[in-house]
Structure 1
Amino acid sequence: MSETSVEIEVVASLTDIPAADWDACACPEALDGGAPIDPFTTHKFLSALEISGSVGAGTGWQPQYLLARLDGALIAAAPLYLKSNSQGEYIFDHNWAHAYENAGGRYYPKLQIAVPFTPATGRRFLVKPEHKETGQAALVQGAVQLAANNELSSLHVTFCTEEEMQAGKQMGLMARTSQQFHWINKGYDSFDAFLASLSSRKRKNIRKEREQANGFGGDIQVLSGDQIQPEHWDAFWAFYQDTGARKWGTPYLTRQFFDIVQDTMRDDVILILAKRDGRYVAGALNFVGRYALFGRYWGCVEDHPCLHFELCYYRAIDIAIARGLLRVEAGAQGEHKLARGYLPVVTHSLHWVGDAGFADAIERYLIAEREAIEQDIEVLSDYGPFKKIHVEEKE
């Protein structure tokens, strides 16, 4: 490193790091008063996870925030966690863990640079712009050294940006590709304009689904900021618990997390709730970034045809168009999103494994996986709902 006085520090709580110092690395673009590109790496979001007990002792996510200082000043940081399982990550390495342990190794604990329970792409090496290369190198080298010194099996950096993936590869980390479905705003000025870009059959199907969903016998409310009241969070907590119990066994987030979000981030949140016969029956929670709407959680206490599609996908598109956002990220997995205008995109992660033989095996696996995902995206894109443009050859 050119700046040889960079020092690495590990801190167990964000309360020991001033919010202004952290956010100067995490979201320097927000210094103009606008929204951060990624709301999930901000001090207030990560603090909400920590203070609410959603991460910490007994959760499988033990904070070990990684800091890089130059002459005492914080120039880079990473949301680093000591993981005792692979829950809440959405980049699946369970087969790696089984293979490692079947060979007599100890896969857990491992280190993870990530936003817990949040499969949304964003910067993971949080660096002040003027120290970009030095800060990235310090964080990567510091995290790898921390894993090696403590004889941990591995280090993982999940849902990083493509630029970070390229930089990590240059520093010796293994790159992995995964797949999500995002809606891309191509300058649409209305939902009808978006529909006009689809094939006739898909367009008719979406209109039918929206009509069916909005005929569920109640009304749909879109709430943000001071419009959100405690009763709305009470309702959403019931939805979230139901979804969490079915998907994960136990919900990842605690009830207090949502109270803290209401206090510190309500202007960054959009709640879409369906109300019928005087009670809320379904809802979707979204976070708003500078360029994207991030759909995070959905749940219901009554089943109504197509209501899930309306609250999670179509209303999100409405909001993105109205706010001039560039895309909607609707979370992990879900090929059913394809027919709703959400196209497959590549997501990235980086990995380091201490055992050389196991690292070689994983590298071979990642090459094959990457080729399969590229083929899958090509096929899925071809089956997308958008009109096909046919170019006639002229003699």
Structure 2
Amino acid sequence: MEATPTSPERKAGWKLWAGMLVFGLAGLGVAIELTVLHVRVHLDPAFRSFCAINETVNCDTVAQSPYSVFLGVPVSVWGILGYLAMSGVAIAAFLLKRRGRDVLAGMMLALTGFSVGMSLVLGGISTFKLKCFCLLCMFTYGINLVLLVLSLLEARRWGVAASLQAAVDFVAGEWKRVLPVGIFGSVAVVALLAFYPAYWATPAHADVDLSTGVDALGDPWIGAKEPKLTIIEYSDYQCPHCRRGHEEMRALLAKHPDDVRLVHRNYPLDEACNPKIKSAFHPYACEYAKLSVCAGEQGKFWEANDYLFENGKQESPITPAALVKAIKADPGKLEACMKSSAAQSRVDANIQEGIRRGIQGTPSFQVGDKVYPGRLPPEVIDSFLSPAK
């Protein structure tokens, strides 16, 4: 038998639904902000969000991870759909009289329970896989938990099991009324899967034909033959911040192809070859550095460089075969180079030069004798490229 709330309970119910609407809309706002952040992180190399605080708390790093996309659509976009659904149920509660709100309570409880489950999954990925946290994401986890508590309190007014059963019975018994909503939702999901642009799979730098070469120390360069500004980057292919730096530098080269030269030096944060690293950190970085050197022996360093930055943060290691296929290199020559001592010696020389220059982390950029950790300040670039007054 369905419980009948008293007048004070009905007033409390309105407050619960008002709270669910407020938090649902708040979650919607945060999900939209996360979607904008995701787009800008991938398309604007110079973009840094307000919550890119450090190595551990960094929304940009999380947004760049493969876990930020599910079934070809950003997780934040799925969140927008979820919050729209929850807000819609809350609005429906205000439009209906008492009858039918037990059904809505069951629906809301199911939606919020699912959202909290997803929060646990995503939080676990941040903790154990990425070892990096997104403040905005964590805010949505808190919103989801509050929504679950509010929906649970509302469901208890009708009986938790009874409200869930009422929702199931409504869908089964009123399928003709539910069908249009289901079709609309299905069409929206299919449209997302089919047409959402995969902008994260496209390098942010422009595809510009640039000169390349090797400097006096044997390090590869790209850009101007007679540069006004030479930038030496110390980088690690497993470092997400290095990937951002890579995109920013390539965008700078595309904008100033006749004025800027970029020199690459490997500085893998991997204890296997870097004596400054005392514990496991980037376990494949030394091998990736060797792969880039060996690709360079075939005149394909910058193709390998782009590929390694694009794929270096993936969970499974990049194999020589995968690189060969991607850059159309000679597999026999690459294998022989990887087994030779010359490739490791080249990487070691880069590391020792980095240590001599006082490199503490990646990316770091050297202009002249000065090293800039993290990011090259725009004013330094402007000082070389701005017309003389």
The question of a shared fold, defined as TM-score above 0.5 by the shorter chain, is answered with: no
Higher normalized helix content (fraction of residues): 2
Q: TM-score range by the shorter chain?
A: under 0.3
Higher normalized strand content (fraction of residues): 1
TM-score normalised per structure 2? 0.25
User: Who wins on radius of gyration, i.e. which is larger?
Assistant: 2
